[in-house]
């Protein structure tokens, strides 16, 4: 019996159950902290409308819950980086396909597809997540490291 089931056996209503459940550590059990992915990786099905654009070179999607931008570069590789800028922490990193790099809309920090800073505001680089595409090219996994 897990913790949630145990609390249910005590006869707590859903609101009380949720409050009690969360007191003990909701943060780590229900919702991952921003930028932290599930331990076994995040799976994107590129056959779904939400992610199908990632089948095309030069496209990108934002995973708002995780503050991550995922791009299929102009050369066809997948790159996932944080949307949180290392300059002043604004959540404005976007993929710029015409330049094949990432840029922050706040003050113009630029980052390569490997996360290296390309200008003064980007000098600290950005976090890059490991990605893995299946052989069929339609299931993309993103990992913390």
Residues binding ligand FES (CB under 6 A): 85, 87-88, 90, 92, 104, 106-109, 121
Least distance between ligand FES and beta carbon 94 (Å): 11
Please say which residue, 19 or 96, places its beta carbon nearer to ligand FES: 96
Phi, psi of 135 (to 5 degrees): -65, -35
Beta bridge partners of 130: 143
Beta bridge partners of 71: 60, 79
The span from the first CA to the last CA of the chain, in angstroms, equals: 32
Please say which residue, 51 or 95, places its beta carbon nearer to ligand FES: 95
Least distance between ligand FES and beta carbon 34 (Å): 16
- Strand, helix or coil at 133? strand
**Would you say 61 and 69 are in contact if contact means Cβ atoms under 8 Å apart?**
yes
Please say which residue, 108 or 137, places its beta carbon nearer to ligand FES: 108
If we measure between CA atoms, which residue out of 69, 65, 63 comes closest to residue 83?
Answer: 69
Least distance between ligand FES and beta carbon 90 (Å): 4
Least distance between ligand FES and beta carbon 81 (Å): 13
Please say which residue, 8 or 67, places its beta carbon nearer to ligand FES: 67
The continuous run of DSSP H or E covering 141 comes out as strand 139-143
């Amino acid at each position: 019996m897990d913790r949630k089931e145990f609390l249910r056996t005590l006869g707590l209503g859903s609101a009380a159950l949720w409050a009690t459940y969360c007191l003990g550590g909701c943060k780590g059990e229900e919702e991952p902290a921003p930028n932290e992915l599930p331990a076994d990786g995040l799976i994107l099905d590129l056959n779904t409308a939400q992610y199908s654009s990632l089948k095309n070179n030069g496209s990108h999607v934002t995973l708002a819950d995780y503050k991550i931008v995922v791009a299929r570069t102009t050369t066809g590789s997948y790159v996932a980086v944080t949307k949180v800028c290392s300059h002043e922490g604004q959540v404005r990193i976007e993929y710029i396909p015409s330049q094949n790099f990432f840029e922050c809309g706040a003050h113009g920090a630029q980052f390569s597809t490997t996360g290296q800073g390309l200008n003064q505001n980007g000098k600290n680089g950005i976090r890059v997540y490991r990605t893995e595409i299946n052989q069929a090219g339609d299931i993309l996994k993103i990992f913390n490291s």
